[in-house]
Amino acid sequence: MPRLKRRLRPVLVLSIALSTALAVGGGLLPAAPAHADSAPEPQTVSADALPTVQVNGVVWDQEVVGNTVYVAGSFTSARPAGASKGVSETPRANLLAYDIRTGEMLDWAPRTNGAVNTITASADGSVIYLGGEFTALNDETTWRVGSVAADTGARIPVGASANATVRALELGPDGTTLYIGGTFTQINSSARQRVAAIDLTTQTLTSFTAPVDNYFVRTIAAAVDGSAVAIGGAFTSVGSQSNPGYGMAILEPDGQLRRNNLTSVVRNATSYASIMSLEADSQGLYGTGYSQSRTYGSIEGLFRANWVSGDLDYLADCHGDSFDVHPTAEVVYVASHTHDCSNIGGMPDSKQYYNAVAFTNAATGTVKTNTVSGYTNHAGQPATTNLNFYPVFTNGTYTGTNQATWTVEGNDEYVVYGGEFLTVNGTAQQGLVRFARRDVAPNAEGPMDKGGAYAVSAQSPSPGVVTLSFKANWDRDDRTLTYKVYRDDDTSTPVSTQTVSAGFWALPQLSATDTVEPGTTHRYRVVVEDPWGASTRSDWVTVTAAARDDGAELGAYGLRVIQDGATNYWPLDEKSGQSGADLIGGATMTVSGKAYTRGQAAAIGSGKAIAFSPSRRSVSFATTTSASTAPGVFSVEAWFQTTTTSGGVIANFGSSTTGSSTSKDRMVYMRNDGTLGFMLYPGAVTTIASPRSYNDGSWHHVVATMSPTEGSALYVDGELVGSDATMTRGQAFDGFWRVGGDSVAGVAVAPSSGYFTGSIDEVAVYGTALGLDAVRAHYALGTGQEPEDPAQPDAGDQDQSILLADDFSRTTSRGWGSADTGGSWTAAWGNSLFSTADSQGRIAMKGAKSSSSISSQVLASTSTEAVIDMSFDAVPTGNGAYVSYQARKTAAGTYQAGIRLASNGALTLTVSKVVDGKETTLGTARLDGTYRAGDPLHLRIVVDGEETTTLRARAWTGDAEPEAWQIDTVDSEGTLSSPGSVGFTTYMSASAGKDETVNVSVDKVTVKRLG
C-alpha cells in the first residue's frame, strides 16, 4: 500500500458556532493567544461531493498547486464526472491533472510505465517531482525518481535514481533539497538505507543519510524552519535505536537521530503496523497510522507532536486505520476507514466505516479509557474533537484491500480526496472527489431523514394541549439543526422552534407542545433546517385535541413535565391491564409478569400508581417495546415509595424487553440500605450514590441526569444529592426504557434483588439534562406547593439599578479609560487596539490572528441584564471576525455571548462558558439577513443565578428588537457562581488578509441588576 506525505500548503478554513441550547460542543481557535478566550468550534468544508474527473484504478497521492490538482497513482485512463466506466475514456498513464474549481481534467499527461506513489511540487510550482515503481517516464529511462514540467508534462532531469521502490518525496523548506524515502538501499549507486536527499541545484546526492534498519520509509515531513526532517514507516529502528526510532524518527539536518519522546506513545512498525503519513506546518508534526495488532501498533488515528520534545499536542484516539492527513489552520482532514471515536467523545463503534473525517486542530480535552479489546489504552493523553464531517464512500476493489480513500489534500477553498472508491454519498464517482468551503459549496447536503422516513407522532393528553414527538435528524456536515413545527400550513409561523446539536449516533428524542381549541382537529409537520438553508420535512400528522369533557385533563404537574421538554411521559395512571401510556412519545410500556398491582394511590395527589411485589416465583417490570438509541444527553425522573431492604431498579435503559438485560445502563436503583445509586457503564461501572436512605414508606422524587459536557447529577426531593463531572457518557446500544426491575449484576453495591418492591409513579424521560430549578419545580408541584421559578426578565416592569453604563463620551488614544458608571476598563492584552472618540469605544482588529481583551471592574451582582449597541466598519474576508461580550468573568471562568461576522455577511450568535480554557457552547442562533458595513448591531443578554444560572440572549440589526429570546438555556454546574466583571474580546481569523483591518465601534454598554 504505497503512501507518502510532503509539505503543507496554507489553507483557509471557515469557523462557525454550531451548537445548541439542548446539547453542546466545544473547540478552540489555536491561533489565539494562550490567555485569550476561545472561539467557536471550527466549521469543516461541506460534504457535497462535487463532480470530479474519474480514474479506472487507484490514486495514491495528490499535490495542489494554485487551482491545479496533480494526481498520481496506478491507472490507465480517466473519464469525466458522471460518465460510466468505459464511456468517454481518455488515456492517462498513472498521472493526470484537473482544475480544482471545476473538477475537469486538464491536458497535462506525462506517462510512466509503473505506479507513481508520491508527488510533490517545486517551491515555485513549476516542476512536479515523482516517485514510485516506474522505470520509464515519457518513454525515457527513469529509475523510480523523476520530474516533469508543471505546465507541459515534459520530462526534466532530476539527478536521482533508486534501486527499489520510492514511497515518499518531500521538498525542503528552502526548495533546494528533495528528500526521498522508500525500500531502496542505493541512490545513484551510492549506499543509502531507505532515506536520502538530492541537491536540486546541482542535481547531486547530498551527504544526508540515516541508518534505517529494516522494512521501509513510507512518509517524510520537513520542519517549516528547516531544523529537522521526520520520517515514518514500518521500520523498527534507526541506527539500532527504537525509542525513538520505532516506526518514526526526527532527524537532524545531517541525518542524526534526534533523541526525544516521539515514539513514547505512538509506536507503529513491522509488517503488522506502520506510520502511514507525516505532515508539517507551523503548529507541529502531524501523523497517522494503521495497525493490525496492538503488539506492533499503538494507534490507528491522528496525532500532532512537538518537533523538539516529541511530546503529543493531541491524539485523535479513533479506531480504524488512517492513511493520510491534511492539516489546515483550524481543521485537520484524514483519509481513513474510521469506525470508532468514542475514546475522544465522537462516534461509537459501528458497522459503518467513514473514509473522510475531520478533527479540530487543537487539544480540546483528554482521551477516555479504552474499553475495546485489541487496542492500546491512551487514557489521559490530550485529545482533540471529532467534527461533524461524514461523507460516505463505497470501497473499491482495485488493490484488493477493501479500501476507499488513500490521500487527502487541499487549497484555500477546497479539500480533495483520492483513492479507489466507487461512489460518494450514493453517486457514482470513482477515485477522485472534491469538497468545498461552505461559502463556495452548493450546500445541498441537508438533514437526511425525509418524509415518511422521518416519523412524527402527535397526541392530546389534556383538553386543548397537543404534544408532538420526533427524533432528532442528522446531517453529513452539520451537527446543529433547527426544528420548526408547523400547524395546518407550513408557510405560517411555526408553533415551535428549537435548535439541537447531536451526533448521528446519539439522536435524542425531541418534543413540542401546542395549545389549540379543545375538540378541534389539526395537522402538524416538522421542518428540519441546517444553518446553510438545506432542509427536509416530515409528512403531515393529524390529531384531534382532547375536548373539555372527555376526562383527559392533566394537572399542573403533568403540564409542567410537558412544558419542560419531556420526550416520554408515563403517568402510570391505568387502573388495570398491562399497558402504560406514553403521553408524549407514543412509546407505550407493557408490564410483564404477575407481581404487580395497578390503580394504587398516586404520588402527586391525582391519578394512580403501580405497585410491584416480586417474589422468588414471579417478578414484574414495565418496558417499552420498540427499541431506541441510548441517549447521549438525558434526564430520567420518577416517584417511588417503599420500605424494602432488598433494593431494586427503579428505572433504567436495558437491552431486553423480557427477563434480564445483557446490557444495562442509565440506571437509577435502590440499595439494600435504602440509598440510591445512579449508574452509567461507558465500558466500566461509574456511579453516583445518595448519602441517605429513602426506604421509609414515604413518596420520594428522584431525577438523574447525564450531559456529555456537564457530567451527571442525582437529585432527590428537589435537592442535588450527588454529582460527577466525569460521568459524561454511557454505553452505546439500542434498547428499551424499563421501570421496576432489571439485572443488577456488576453494579456498585448491588442490592439483593434487581426487582423493586414498592410503588412507582410519574416516570418521564427528557432529551436534556434538567437543572436544579426545574427539578425543584417538579417536586414542589408534586407535593402540592407553588414552584419558585426564576422570574422572567422584563426590562420595562422591573426595578433595576445600573451597575455599569458607558456611552464613551471621551477621547483616549490607548485603552477605554473609565466608564460613566462602573469604574475603569482594563485591557488584558491589545491595549493599543482600544480607543475612544466621537462617543464610541473602538476596537481595531488588525490583520490575521489579531486579538484583544478588555474588562470592567467586578460588578456586585449575579443577576444582570446587559444591552450593547455596536457596529463593524467592514465585512471581513476569510473566516470572519469574532466579538465576544463577557457577561460574567470570574477567576473560575466566563459566561459570554459571541458574535461572528462571516465573509458573506452572515451573523451568528453563540452563548458559551469557558472554564479552565475549555469552551462549552450553551446555545447558538443564526441572525436573519446579511450584514452591511456600518449597520447598527445590538445584543441583549441576561445572566441570572449562582449555582444554577439562566442565560438568555438575542441579537439583531436595525431598530426593531425581536420579542423572543434566540437563546434561552440553563447552566446547572455552578462553577461560575460568583459576581464578575464584564468585557469584550475580539479575534480576527487566521485566514483573514495580512494587512486587513476591521474596526468595531461600541456606541453604548448598559448593565443592570435584575430584580
pLDDT classification of 800: cutoffs 50, 70, 90: low
What is the rounded CA–CA span in Å between residue 437 and residue 362? 20
Phi, psi of 561 (to 5 degrees): -60, -45
Which whole-number Å values give the CA distances from 655 to 229, 627, 665, 678, in the listed order? 52, 8, 9, 18
Per-residue H/E/C for 50-80: ECCCEECCEEEEEEEECCEEEEEEECCEEEC
Q: What is the mean pLDDT of residues 836-865?
A: 89
The neighbouring-strand residues paired with 869 are 938, 1004
Domains of the chain: 55-109+408-439 (no CATH), 452-545 (2.60.40.10), 556-783 (2.60.120.200), 802-1009 (2.60.120.200)
pLDDT(364) > 50: yes
What is the rounded CA–CA span in Å between residue 95 and residue 146? 13
pLDDT digits (tens, 9 = 90+) for 71-87: 999 999 999 999 999 99
pLDDT(896) > 80: yes
Give the closest residue to 430 by CA, choosing from 397, 386, 381: 397
pLDDT classification of 754: cutoffs 50, 70, 90: very high
What is the rounded CA–CA span in Å between residue 733 and residue 653? 10
* Sheet strands (E) in 726-833: 734-739, 758-766, 801-806, 826-829
Largest interatomic CA distance in the chain: 98
What is the pLDDT at residue 549?
Answer: 72
What is the pLDDT at residue 25?
Answer: 29
pLDDT(16) > 90: no
Pairing between strand 648-654 and 801-806? Answer: unpaired
Q: What is the mean pLDDT of residues 664-677?
A: 97
Contact in structure between 1009 and 803 (CB atoms under 8 Å): yes
CB-facing half-sphere around the CA of 549: CA atoms within 13 A: 0
What is the pLDDT at residue 27?
Answer: 26
What is the pLDDT at residue 605?
Answer: 84
* Full strand arrangement of the beta sheet holding 405-410: 405-410, 414-419, 432-436
What is the rounded CA–CA span in Å between residue 393 and residue 425? 6
What is the pLDDT at residue 789?
Answer: 54
pLDDT digits (tens, 9 = 90+) for 713-740: 999 999 999 999 889 889 988 999 999 9
The neighbouring-strand residues paired with 529 are 482, 535
What is the pLDDT at residue 799?
Answer: 38
What is the pLDDT at residue 993?
Answer: 81
What is the pLDDT at residue 958?
Answer: 87
pLDDT digits (tens, 9 = 90+) for 107-152: 999 999 999 999 999 999 999 999 999 999 999 999 999 999 999 9
What is the pLDDT at residue 790?
Answer: 53
What is the pLDDT at residue 23?
Answer: 30
Contact in structure between 776 and 633 (CB atoms under 8 Å): no
* Sheet strands (E) in 296-353: 302-305, 312-316, 322-327, 331-338
The neighbouring-strand residues paired with 335 are 324, 356
The neighbouring-strand residues paired with 435 are 415
Q: What is the mean pLDDT of residues 217-242?
A: 97
Q: Give the contacts of 975 (CB within 8 A, at least 6 positions apart).
A: 892, 893, 913, 915
What is the pLDDT at residue 338?
Answer: 97
Q: 12, exposed or middle or buried, with CB in 10 Å at 0-12, 13-18, 19+?
A: buried
Give the DSSP letter of residue 708: T
What is the pLDDT at residue 24?
Answer: 28
pLDDT(796) > 60: no
What is the pLDDT at residue 450?
Answer: 92
Contact in structure between 760 and 610 (CB atoms under 8 Å): yes
Give the DSSP letter of residue 791: P
Window from 36-45, 326-335, 495-504, 606-615 with minimum mean pLDDT: 36-45
Mean pLDDT (the chain, rounded): 91
Three-state SS at 771: coil
Q: What is the mean pLDDT of residues 450-463?
A: 92
Q: What is the mean pLDDT of residues 287-298?
A: 96
Q: What is the mean pLDDT of residues 894-911?
A: 94
Q: 191 is written with which cell numbers?
A: 549506499
Of the chain, the percentage scoring pLDDT greater than 70 comes to 94
Q: 764 is written with which cell numbers?
A: 418521564
Window from 185-199, 320-334, 721-735 with minimum mean pLDDT: 721-735
What is the pLDDT at residue 99?
Answer: 98
pLDDT(791) > 70: no
- Which H or E run contains 558? helix 556-563
pLDDT digits (tens, 9 = 90+) for 643-666: 999 999 999 999 999 999 999 999
Window from 383-392, 500-509, 609-618 with minimum mean pLDDT: 500-509
Window from 19-23, 59-63, 571-575 with minimum mean pLDDT: 19-23
Check residues 827 and 56 and name the one with the higher pLDDT. Answer: 56
Contact in structure between 219 and 197 (CB atoms under 8 Å): no
pLDDT classification of 26: cutoffs 50, 70, 90: very low
pLDDT classification of 541: cutoffs 50, 70, 90: very high
Q: What is the mean pLDDT of residues 788-795?
A: 49
